[in-house]
């Protein structure tokens, strides 16, 4: 076809960007702008001031916690360190994290007081040895006991120190300064540090990660620079971390990975380099076990030595979820999914991990530092599997995870050799990198900044519930009987909040029924009640009641609240006819599930239920209100006990993904 006469045909070059003639703008093409922006970003990430800037950034994102006050376990710590008149709750700084010692007679006293439920394991023990962290709390209550603002400021200082140490460590490990800066930035805004930073009782995680990183820096200085002082400091820092929190043992994963991939010494010298920290760990573990520190009888905590088979089963379930959570997928869905959906989710998680592995395979194969990050991250997951899944357990996995992610992003930006060969084969990897950048650098810092508000919601509800507990003089001489509550922990936190407010403690309390499902109560005779929560007591993790909506299928808050009761008893079954004798009342298990969980319990009292010795309460709209006893032979069904807190994202959700809040009030299903 001939061009129309007189009409100039535009060439393709006419549509391409051209430089402006003026010297000031002669380089402003789209390509040059992108190049300059990349150059400026790299210069910022390799600035010598960056570690300090990132420490300040992390502290600023968590700064709203300064106005948080004392929340949940913080109340227990205040009571333990300031109330010597309560010998069962009083603690020294070294024993501050000994919540339940495991003594049968003491546990029975806790049950009578109402600090343990009637179904708790008789030898329940939740005792951790964290004297260094306990010392920091002791200083809080000695220096500024009435100023939680300063207590939170101390926690933020520990967070800043951990971020600073991470930035320095990345600079030692990565040859490219800007890639090291990128890894430090990813670590600084990681929302896995949110809960330890805003919750005083979880400060131990910040101390653990700080001393763990200092141990790695010292170990690297010893092996690279031959520093004898660093050789002594490495096991010392490791011990300080272990005395802050048990999870510091995960640092051993990185020391092992260092010996395998980064240490340039001979095989024998590399083996010898492992001994100082290994001996430190063995000494700590021997003392830990000799003094009886452990978690026994709890469904939330596992002892891999005392119960290896149960730990292996939990590891198979939790490890893939935690590893995938490090990159993208929330692992706490285990607490909300029903059995069938949880199985499908586990399969999907494994598929996602295969995608991540495929994207990283070439990089890990060709780069020994990448292999160090990958192995350290993977081997730090087993210690995290000893507790219920939660993102705060990923602090140590994040050391390797963020280093590996930074290297992958750098390779994608440079089209470097570690990526798969070929443009179309690299496209999926670069797309995955883009998604991970959005999640870790876009969503994560926003989630970190908003975490304080979401965390405060449950504590506010506990305060409201505490105010509703009876405070009149007669209550001190009565037995308070609670027939429904969202979880037993809801009552415990309310009771501790009440004690700190100066109200007298309810000396005798019995929680008859708990959980986020309706509770059926039948009056057998004048002195006997039969209680049957829908779904039974001690709901299995991920268990749920009926409901067809996707919210109830996946994210039912009632399941999570019900699962909190598993803190007090593991999978060891109860039997029909089993009796628990209490003061003035005997609880008898009258029905169990196939796996030994109680479905129904009968409570036989020494006096008529209408006696003035008893105060009957039930949960209603976030408060405890009087409960009207049914007549003999009658049955009443109480509605599901839920928390009046609304939100769109849980305090524990990774990267702020759109999951309902752990403590949200469950909305009624559509008709």
Instruction: Please state which of the ranges 227-231, 237-241, 470-474, 629-633 shows the lowest mean pLDDT.
Output: 470-474
Tell me: pLDDT of 594 over 80. yes
Distance CA 432, CA 232 (A): 42
Residue 486 three-state SS: coil
Tell me: pLDDT of 185 over 90. yes
Tokens for 528?
A: 């006997």
Tell me: pLDDT of 50 over 60. yes
* pLDDT score recorded for residue 32: 55
Tell me: pLDDT of 648 over 50. no
Q: How many CB atoms lie within 10 A of CB 106?
A: 13
* pLDDT score recorded for residue 609: 93
* pLDDT score recorded for residue 109: 84
* pLDDT score recorded for residue 261: 94
Tokens for 554?
A: 């996946």
Instruction: Express each pLDDT in 131-160 by its tens digit.
Output: 999 999 999 999 999 999 999 999 999 999
Share of the chain above pLDDT 70, in %: 81
Instruction: Tell me phi and psi for residue 59, to 5 degrees.
Output: -65, -40
Tally helices (H) and strands (E) across the chain. 22, 13
* pLDDT score recorded for residue 346: 77
Give the residue extent of every domain in the chain. 12-41, 46-446, 471-656
Tell me: pLDDT of 391 over 90. no
Distance CA 154, CA 135 (A): 12
User: Which DSSP helix (H) or strand (E) runs through 574?
Assistant: none
Distance CA 87, CA 262 (A): 52
Average pLDDT over residues 409-428: 70
Tokens for 196?
A: 């330890």
* pLDDT score recorded for residue 33: 54
User: Which DSSP helix (H) or strand (E) runs through 602?
Assistant: strand 598-605
* pLDDT score recorded for residue 265: 85
Considering only residues 519 and 391, tell me which one the structure prediction assigns the higher pLDDT: 519
C-beta separation of 152 from 66 below 8 A: yes
DSSP string for residues in 386-398:
TB---GGGGHHHH
Distance CA 495, CA 483 (A): 16
Q: Scan for tokens 């979820």, then name that residue.
A: 321
Instruction: Please state which of the ranges 278-292, 296-310, 335-349, 587-601 shows the lowest mean pLDDT.
Output: 335-349
Which residues have CB under 8 Å from 235's CB, separation 6+?
A: 215, 276, 277, 279, 280
Q: What is the pTM of this model?
A: 0.84
The pLDDT confidence band at residue 644, using thresholds 50, 70 and 90, is low
Considering only residues 543 and 78, tell me which one the structure prediction assigns the higher pLDDT: 78
Question: What beta strand segments (E) does 444-578 contain?
Answer: 479-482, 508-511, 519-525, 528-533
* pLDDT score recorded for residue 619: 92
Q: How many CB atoms lie within 10 A of CB 240?
A: 18
Q: Scan for tokens 């009782």, then name that residue.
A: 201
SS3 string, 136-169, reads HHHHHHHHCCCCHHHHHHHHHHHHHHHHHHHHHH
C-beta separation of 657 from 649 below 8 A: yes
* pLDDT score recorded for residue 646: 39
User: Judging by DSSP bridges, how do beta strands 294-296 and 598-605 pair with one another?
Assistant: unpaired
Tell me: pLDDT of 4 over 50. no
Mean pLDDT of the chain: 82
Tell me: pLDDT of 3 over 50. no
Average pLDDT over residues 316-335: 73
Which residues have CB under 8 Å from 671's CB, separation 6+?
A: none
* pLDDT score recorded for residue 338: 55
Residue of 366, 378, 448 lying closest to 407 (CA atoms): 366
Tell me: pLDDT of 660 over 60. no
List the strands of the sheet with 508-511, edge to edge.
Answer: 508-511, 479-482, 614-620, 623-626
Tell me: pLDDT of 373 over 60. yes
Residue of 580, 607, 614, 588 lying closest to 506 (CA atoms): 614
Distance CA 330, CA 351 (A): 15
Residue 123 three-state SS: coil
Instruction: Please state which of the ranges 245-249, 398-402, 661-665 shows the lowest mean pLDDT.
Output: 661-665
Distance CA 457, CA 135 (A): 28
Q: Scan for tokens 């003999």, then name that residue.
A: 632
C-beta separation of 123 from 241 below 8 A: no
Tokens for 87?
A: 């010998």
Distance CA 95, CA 99 (A): 9
DSSP string for residues in 47-115:
-TTHHHHHHHHHHHHTGGGGGT---THHHHHHHHHH-TT-TTT---GGGTTEEE---HHHHHHHHHHTS
C-beta separation of 388 from 314 below 8 A: no
């Amino acid at each position: 076809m001939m061009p129309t006469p007189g009409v100039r045909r535009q060439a393709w070059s006419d549509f391409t960007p051209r430089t402006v003639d003026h010297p000031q703008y002669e380089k402003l093409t789209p390509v040059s702008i992108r190049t300059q922006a990349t150059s400026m970003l790299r210069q910022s990430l390799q600035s010598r001031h960056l570690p300090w800037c990132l420490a300040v950034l992390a502290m600023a994102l968590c700064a709203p916690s300064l106005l948080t006050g004392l929340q949940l376990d913080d109340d227990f710590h205040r009571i333990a360190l300031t109330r010597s008149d309560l010998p069962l709750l009083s603690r020294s700084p070294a024993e501050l994290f000994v919540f339940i010692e495991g003594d049968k007679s003491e546990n029975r006293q806790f049950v009578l007081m109402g600090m343990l439920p009637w179904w708790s394991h008789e030898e329940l023990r939740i005792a951790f040895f964290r004297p260094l962290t306990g010392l920091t709390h002791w200083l809080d209550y000695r220096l500024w006991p009435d100023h939680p603002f300063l207590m939170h400021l101390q926690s933020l200082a520990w967070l800043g120190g951990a971020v600073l140490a991470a930035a320095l460590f990345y600079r030692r490990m990565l040859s490219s300064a800007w890639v090291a800066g990128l890894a430090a930035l990813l670590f600084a805004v990681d929302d896995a540090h949110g809960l330890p930073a805003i919750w005083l009782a979880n400060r131990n995680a910040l101390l653990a990660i700080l001393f763990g990183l200092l141990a790695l820096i010292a170990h690297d200085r010893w092996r690279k620079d031959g520093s004898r002082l660093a050789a002594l400091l490495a096991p010392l820092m490791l011990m300080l971390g272990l005395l802050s929190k048990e999870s510091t043992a995960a640092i051993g994963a990185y020391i092992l990975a260092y010996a395998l991939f980064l240490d340039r010494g001979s095989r024998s010298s590399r083996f010898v380099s492992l001994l100082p920290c290994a001996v430190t760990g063995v000494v700590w573990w021997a003392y830990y076990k000799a003094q009886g520190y452990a978690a026994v009888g709890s469904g939330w905590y596992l002892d891999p030595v005392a119960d290896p088979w149960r730990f292996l089963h939990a590891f198979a379930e939790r490890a893939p979820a935690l590893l995938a959570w490090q990159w993208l997928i929330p692992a706490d869905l285990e607490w909300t999914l029903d059995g069938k959906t949880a199985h499908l989710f586990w399969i999907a998680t494994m598929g996602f991990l295969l995608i991540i592995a495929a994207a990283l395979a070439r990089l890990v194969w060709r780069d020994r530092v990448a292999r160090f990050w990958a192995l350290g991250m993977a081997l730090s997951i087993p210690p995290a599997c000893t507790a219920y899944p939660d993102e705060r357990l990923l602090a140590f996995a994040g050391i390797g995870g963020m280093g590996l992610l930074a290297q992958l992003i750098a390779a994608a930006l440079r089209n470097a050799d570690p990526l798969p060969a070929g443009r179309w084969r690299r496209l999926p990897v670069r797309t995955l990198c883009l998604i991970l950048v959005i999640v870790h650098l876009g969503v994560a810092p926003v989630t970190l900044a908003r975490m304080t508000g979401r965390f405060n919601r449950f504590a506010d509800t506990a305060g409201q519930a505490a105010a509703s507990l009876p405070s009149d003089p007669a209550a001190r001489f009565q037995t308070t009987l609670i027939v429904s509550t969202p979880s037993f922990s809801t009552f415990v936190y309310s009771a501790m909040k009440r004690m700190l407010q100066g109200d007298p403690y309810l000396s005798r309390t019995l929680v008859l029924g708990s959980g986020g499902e309706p509770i059926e109560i039948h009056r057998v005779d004048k002195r006997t009640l039969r209680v049957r929560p829908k779904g039974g007591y001690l709901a299995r993790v991920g268990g749920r009641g009926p409901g067809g909506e996707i919210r109830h299928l996946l994210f039912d808050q009632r399941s999570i609240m019900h699962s909190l009761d598993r803190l007090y008893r593991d999978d060891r079954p109860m039997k029909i006819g089993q009796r628990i004798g209490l003061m003035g009342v005997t609880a008898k298990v009258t029905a169990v599930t196939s796996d030994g969980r109680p479905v129904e319990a009968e409570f036989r009292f020494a006096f008529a239920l209408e006696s003035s010795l008893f105060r009957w309460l039930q949960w209603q709209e976030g408060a405890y209100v009087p409960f009207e006893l049914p007549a003999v032979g009658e049955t009443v069904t109480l509605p599901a006990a839920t928390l009046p807190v609304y939100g769109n994202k849980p305090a524990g959700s990774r990267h702020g993904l759109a999951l309902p809040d752990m403590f949200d009030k469950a909305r009624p299903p559509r008709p």
